[in-house]
Amino acid sequence: MPSSSSSDQLNQIGNEYFGRGLYTDAFTYYQRALECDRATGDLRALVATLGNLGNVCAVSGRREQAQQYYQEVLELQKLLGDERGIGATLANLGNLRTDAGEWEQARAYYLEALDMLSAAGDDASLAVLHSNLGLIARETGGLDDALAQYERSLTLMRRLGNQAGVADAYRMIGKTHAIRRHHEDAASCALTSLGISRRLRDELRMAGAWYLLAGIREEQGNRAEAVDLLERVVAVDRKYRLPKLEENTSRLAALRARIAWEAGAGLDS
């Protein structure tokens, strides 16, 4: 008969594949772990495995399948009285609806998760949740609410000593200021995010800050600096084979072409 240790081992192997981006292999091992858990009837192990299956489906674009796994997790967590786990699963369900652009459904899940995670005192999850609520507010035109949510996330990230999270929060605040065309505030936040990312030697976060700053400089008419920043972004895209490489390369080429045209026409860049 399968044992809980068998499930643990299969989940560990699945996690290794997941961490390497090999989602098909991860799914296969999680499914084998699920068979063990159903056979043993270990509810806590079942929750962990179903959560892993939901996560791997979510990152590989199988939202409806992920929804089914998360819903089963939620029912089991309610049975077990796991309030913190319920909050985390509600947040995962909200993430699925965010990915689909279903903002109001996502907000409903997040707000329910907010109550559960606040009661559990889970500041790390709350920091991410406030950022998610900020994204929804920003995408639906509530820029004041977006800034308030990002500021709450920033406060929690600082309290936790999560410097990567602080860098992300500053970038999101900067992006919101950029939408309002408050260029100096936006640039200040982007540069703060960049400085933290450099100290962390986190090239992906550095590229995120460069990308934001490039857009700001282009809006301000400083296209030469925007080109320099985008060149750095494209170099990181290429190094890590990121999905926006083609899009960012095209944007960079268009910006260079515009500078060349303006130079030929005798216009200021």
Q: pLDDT by residue (tens digit) across 93-117?
A: 999 999 999 999 999 999 999 999 9
- What's the pLDDT score for residue 180? 96
Whether 100 and 180 share a structural domain: no
- 150-185: pLDDT as tens digits: 999 999 999 999 999 999 999 999 999 999 999 999
> Is the domain of 29 the same as that of 94?
yes
**Position 247 in a domain:** yes
**Structural domain boundaries, residue 216:** 170-264
Q: Which residue among 52, 84, 117 closes a domain?
A: 117
DSSP codes joined into one string, the chain:
---HHHHHHHHHHHHHHHHTT-HHHHHHHHHHHHHHHHHHT-HHHHHHHHHHHHHHHHHTT-HHHHHHHHHHHHHHHHHHT-HHHHHHHHHHHHHHHHHTT-HHHHHHHHHHHHHHHHHHT-HHHHHHHHHHHHHHHHHTT-HHHHHHHHHHHHHHHHHHT-HHHHHHHHHHHHHHHHHTT-HHHHHHHHHHHHHHHHHHT-HHHHHHHHHHHHHHHHHTT-HHHHHHHHHHHHHHHHHHT-TTHHHHHHHHHHHHHHHHHHHHTT---
Q: Is residue 222 part of a domain?
A: yes
CATH code for position 191: 1.25.40.10
For the stretch 223-232, pLDDT in tens is 999 999 999 9
Number of structural domains found in the chain: 2
pLDDT recorded at residue 4: 60
Share of the chain above pLDDT 90, in %: 94
Domain final residue pick, 78, 102, 117: 117
| Final residue before a domain boundary, out of 117, 150, 178 | 117
Q: What is the pLDDT of residue 123?
A: 97
Q: Over 70: is that where the pLDDT of 52 sits? A: yes
Do 108 and 201 have their domain in common?
no
